[in-house]
Amino acid sequence: MNFLSRYKFNHNAWLFLASGILGALGGMIFFLLLNLYLSSIGLSKESIALVNSALSLAEGLLGIPMALLYDRMPRKLSLFLFTALQGVVGLFFLFTNAPLYLAISAFLLGGTFTVFLVLTSPFLMENSSHKERTHLFSFYYALTWLMGMLGNALGGYLPTLFKDLLNLTSQPEAFRWALGFGSILMGLSALPFLFLKPYDHRKQKEEPVSLEGNANSLFRESGASRGSELKFLVALAVLTIGSGLFVSYFNLFFQTKGFSTEVIGLVFTMGSAVTVVATGLGPFIASRLGKIGAICVTQVASLPFFLILAFSSNFGLLAASYVLRQAFANMGGPLQDNFAMEIVPPGKRARFASYISSIRSLSFAFMGPIAGVVMEKQGFSPLFLIAAFLYFLSSVLFWVFFRRKERTVMG
């Protein structure tokens, strides 16, 4: 209650949070089960990786043009329309077993996801004050992780539940019903956007944030701003190339280790629960170390767990390492997105967010086929080792590029 009374988010921010509850719940159910469903209908790991890559490719290729479109559309219209389409397109997966049509469905679904990839950070910035912003970002991410935790728990049992309730005779049919349920929840997450108070995002004014520690903010120094943007994107690209090698395939990883669908859901639930707590600690760590310090420290703290995942076969160690790696690796996510929005002028936020989402998505798209080949031929260990190195390198780059500027402000 102290948190909620101190930081009274505005009407639009609360509606965005409400949408995030339904969207995260449905989305986590859907993506927990999607790869398992594709495996159950006989797709190889390489084909599953290609379907996942199609989704990420759409997010990457369409991110920038969609950002330009969103900047010309009212926020209310774009958020409602494309969120509703997520639920519709999610149902496409249920009516085909052909890899080509599954990949097309994934591409279309990725296209609808661009609305959140591009608009989440700008929307939160536009509907919050500088004082509450770090807390709003962390609260939003913690809330979506909490709903993701519930989605994982529910998703792990839904196939069995539908199989028993509907007397289904095959596992793929049970997966289809569960995926349909997740898709409907994703579509329903559009409803809160009907009640948004319209505003002209192109006329939003922002308190200047100076990373240089003087009167001239980066908003007024276009050259400095462009340099900071480029450095941020380079450090981010290194990180997301590493993530693209393994993040989408943890359910397959645990399946190869003998985990049942229910147990995979339970492990994912534990990961989400701990991540909720960890994300809430982000502002506290940032207040001590600065945003960049917190981002680097939490990423580096996740590295030992990559090694355990790469080499251990112990059930308990694998589950614990998944949970702790996820918590540390995601703790700095809200701080990273908040920092990204501070180094660009208000008028460029949606576009810069599209660059960020494109880099993240294209990394997953291009690394997916590579990950699929490696999984088939060498297993998962090489993927975790390469990703650990890239996470470390990204932390070094963030520190070198931005720590000195942030120290000037803090000092």
- 62: Cβ–Cβ under 8 A, 6 or more apart, which residues? 110, 111, 114
253: nearest Cα among 304, 172, 310: 310
Domains of the chain, residue spans? 11-195+216-410
Contact indicator for 172, 37 with CB cutoff of 8 Å: yes
pLDDT of residue 201: 64
Does residue 332 or residue 246 have the better pLDDT?
246
Q: What is the maximum span of the chain, computed from C-alpha positions, in angstroms?
A: 69
- 108-140, pLDDT tens digit by residue? 998 888 888 778 878 888 887 777 777 787 788
> Is pLDDT at 4 greater than 70 in this prediction?
no
**Interatomic CA distance for residues 401 and 393, integer angstroms:** 12
- 307-357, pLDDT tens digit by residue? 999 999 898 999 999 999 998 988 888 888 888 888 887 767 777 877 887
pLDDT of residue 213: 40
Token pair listed for 167: 């007397």
User: Quick one: what percent of the chain has pLDDT higher than 90?
Assistant: 32
> Is pLDDT at 399 greater than 80 in this prediction?
yes
Contact indicator for 331, 278 with CB cutoff of 8 Å: yes
**Interatomic CA distance for residues 67 and 171, integer angstroms:** 39
Distances (CA, A) of 343 to 39, 153, 213, 229, 280: 43, 38, 13, 7, 23
Contact indicator for 238, 389 with CB cutoff of 8 Å: no
**Interatomic CA distance for residues 376 and 50, integer angstroms:** 13
Instruction: Grade residue 306 by pLDDT with cuts at 50, 70 and 90.
Output: very high
Instruction: Grade residue 251 by pLDDT with cuts at 50, 70 and 90.
Output: confident
- 174-233, pLDDT tens digit by residue? 999 999 999 999 999 999 999 998 776 666 544 444 444 433 443 444 555 678 888 999
For the chain, give the secondary structure using H, E and C. Answer: CHHHHHCCCCHHHHHHHHHHHHHHHHHHHHHHHHHHHHHHCCCCHHHHHHHHHHHHHHHHHHHHHHHHHHHHCCHHHHHHHHHHHHHHHHHHHHHCCCHHHHHHHHHHHHHHHHHHHHHHHHHHHHCCCHHHHHHHHHHHHHHHHHHHHHHHHHHHHHHHHHHHHCCCCCHHHHHHHHHHHHHHHHHHCCHHHHHCCCCCHHHCCCCCCCCCCCCCCCCCCHHHHHHHHHHHHHHHHHHHHHHHCCHHHHHHHHHHCCCCHHHHHHHHHHHHHHHHHHHHCHHHHHHHHHHHHHHHHHHHHCHHHHHHHHHCCCHHHHHHHHHHHHHHHHHCHHHHHHHHHHCCCHHHHHHHHHHHHHHHHHHHHHHHHHHHHHHHHCCCHHHHHHHHHHHHHHHHHHHHHHHHHHHHHHC
23: nearest Cα among 158, 176, 145: 145
pLDDT of residue 308: 95
Give the relative orientation of helices 45-72 and 99-126 as an angle to the nearest 10 degrees.
Answer: 40
Q: What does the mean pLDDT of the chain come to?
A: 83
Token pair listed for 21: 């509850």
375: nearest Cα among 241, 256, 238, 264: 256
- 40-89, pLDDT tens digit by residue? 998 888 889 889 889 888 887 887 787 778 778 888 888 999 999 999 99
**Interatomic CA distance for residues 63 and 391, integer angstroms:** 24
- 172: Cβ–Cβ under 8 A, 6 or more apart, which residues? 37, 40, 41
pLDDT of residue 204: 56
Look at domain 11-195+216-410 and name its CATH class. Answer: mainly alpha
